[in-house]
Chain A
Amino acid sequence: MINNINKAFESRVRLGVMSVLMVNDWMDFNSVKDLLEVTDGNLSSHITALEKLNYIEIRKEFVAKRPKTSYRVTQEGRKAFSDHLSALENLLNGLT
Chain B
Amino acid sequence: MENKSHIEQLAEIRSLMERSSRFISLSGLSGIMAGTYALIGAIIARLYIKNSETYMEFIEGYSTRYVATSWSEYKIFILLGVAVAALSIVTGLLLTMRRAKKNNQNIWDKSALRMLVNLAIPLAVGGVFCTILLYQGYIGMVAPATLIFYGLSLVNGSKYTLDTIRHLGIVEIIIGLIAAVDLGNGLFYWALGFGVMHIIYGTAMWWKYERKQVGA
Q: Residue-by-residue, is A60-96 near B (CB-CB < 8 Å gives 1, otherwise 0)? A: 0000000000000000000000000100110110011
Set of chain A residues within 8 Å of B65, measured between Cβ atoms: none
Is A24 located at the chain interface by the 8 A CB criterion? yes
Which chain B residues (51-72) contact chain A, with CB distance < 8 Å? none
- Identify B20's interface contact among A24, A89, A92, A95, CB under 8 A: A24
Which chain A residues (14-70) contact chain B, with CB distance < 8 Å? 15-16, 19-20, 22-24, 27, 31, 34-36
Is B10 located at the chain interface by the 8 A CB criterion? yes
Do A20 and B9 have beta carbons less than 8 Å apart? Answer: no
Do B20 and A88 have beta carbons less than 8 Å apart? Answer: no
Set of chain A residues within 8 Å of B12, measured between Cβ atoms: 12, 15-16, 19
Do B20 and A35 have beta carbons less than 8 Å apart? Answer: yes
- Identify B109's interface contact among A16, A34, A88, CB under 8 A: A34
Q: Residue-by-residue, is B1-35 near A (CB-CB < 8 Å gives 1, otherwise 0)? A: 00100110110110011011100000000000000
Do B3 and A95 have beta carbons less than 8 Å apart? Answer: yes
Q: How far is the CA of A22 from the CA of B19 in the complex (A)?
A: 12
Interface size class of chain A, counting residues whose CB lies under 8 Å from the partner chain: 20 to 34
Q: How far is the CA of A16 from the CA of B16 in the complex (A)?
A: 7
Is B131 located at the chain interface by the 8 A CB criterion? no
Do B109 and A19 have beta carbons less than 8 Å apart? Answer: no
A57 to chain B, nearest CB (A): 18
- Identify A35's interface contact among B3, B9, B16, CB under 8 A: B16
Most buried by A among B6, B13, B110: B13
Set of chain A residues within 8 Å of B16, measured between Cβ atoms: 16, 19-20, 35-36
Closest A residue to B17 using CB positions: A23
Closest B residue to A32 using CB positions: B20
Do B110 and A31 have beta carbons less than 8 Å apart? Answer: yes
Set of chain A residues within 8 Å of B10, measured between Cβ atoms: 85, 88-89, 92
Q: How far is the CA of A95 from the CA of B19 in the complex (A)?
A: 29
B112 to chain A, nearest CB (A): 11
Do B6 and A31 have beta carbons less than 8 Å apart? Answer: no
Which chain B residues (82-123) contact chain A, with CB distance < 8 Å? 106, 109-110
Instruction: Sample 29 A-B pairs with CB under 8 A, ordered by A number.
Output: A12-B12, A15-B9, A15-B13, A16-B12, A16-B16, A19-B16, A19-B17, A19-B20, A20-B16, A20-B20, A23-B17, A23-B20, A23-B21, A24-B21, A24-B110, A27-B20, A31-B20, A31-B110, A34-B106, A35-B19, A35-B20, A36-B16, A85-B10, A89-B10, A91-B3, A91-B6, A92-B3, A92-B6, A95-B3
Interface residues of B (CB under 8 A from A): 3, 6-7, 9-10, 12-13, 16-17, 19-21, 106, 109-110
